[in-house]
């Protein structure tokens, strides 16, 4: 098992929605992503938010989702998990671009 003592694996996901995506459609995506921690036990922690930086450097990305895992194996279960794949089907009609970064950090 690939773990780092006293650390957690962070999985950061940023979304840029297509022009014309309605607030209701964005809410549907937010709710679907928010349901994943109750469906995939390997997700240790979850939080998300909407960009409010005054710097103007977001390049159209509006939403940040932040998941934590105990190990790379837990992340490896999450990525192909059927509920994660179903979420992708909800998201894909509205997604212009996505940026994903993973890193180990102190717990």
Please state which of the four CATH numbers 3.30.70.100, 3.30.230.10, 3.40.190.10, 3.40.50.460 is assigned to the domain occupying 7-106. 3.30.70.100
- Helix residue ranges, H only, the chain: 23-39, 72-78, 82-91
pLDDT in tens, 41-95: 999 999 999 999 999 999 999 999 999 999 999 999 999 999 999 999 999 999 9
pLDDT digits (tens, 9 = 90+) for 17-53: 999 999 999 999 999 999 999 999 999 999 999 999 9
Planar angle of CA 57, 60, 66, nearest 5 degrees: 85
67, 77, 69: which is closest to 35 by C-alpha?
A: 67
Confidence band, pLDDT 50/70/90 cuts, at residue 3: low
């Amino acid at each position: 098992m690939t773990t780092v003592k006293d650390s957690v694996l962070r999985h950061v996901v940023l979304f840029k929605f297509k022009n014309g995506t309605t607030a209701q459609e964005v809410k549907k995506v937010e709710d679907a992503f928010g349901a994943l921690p109750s469906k995939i036990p390997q997700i240790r922690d979850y939080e998300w938010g909407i960009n409010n930086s005054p710097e103007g450097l977001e390049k159209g990305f509006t939403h940040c989702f932040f998941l934590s895992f105990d190990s790379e194996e837990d992340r490896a279960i999450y990525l192909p998990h059927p509920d994660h794949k179903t979420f992708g089907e909800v998201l894909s009609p509205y997604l212009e671009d996505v940026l994903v970064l993973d890193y180990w950090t102190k717990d």
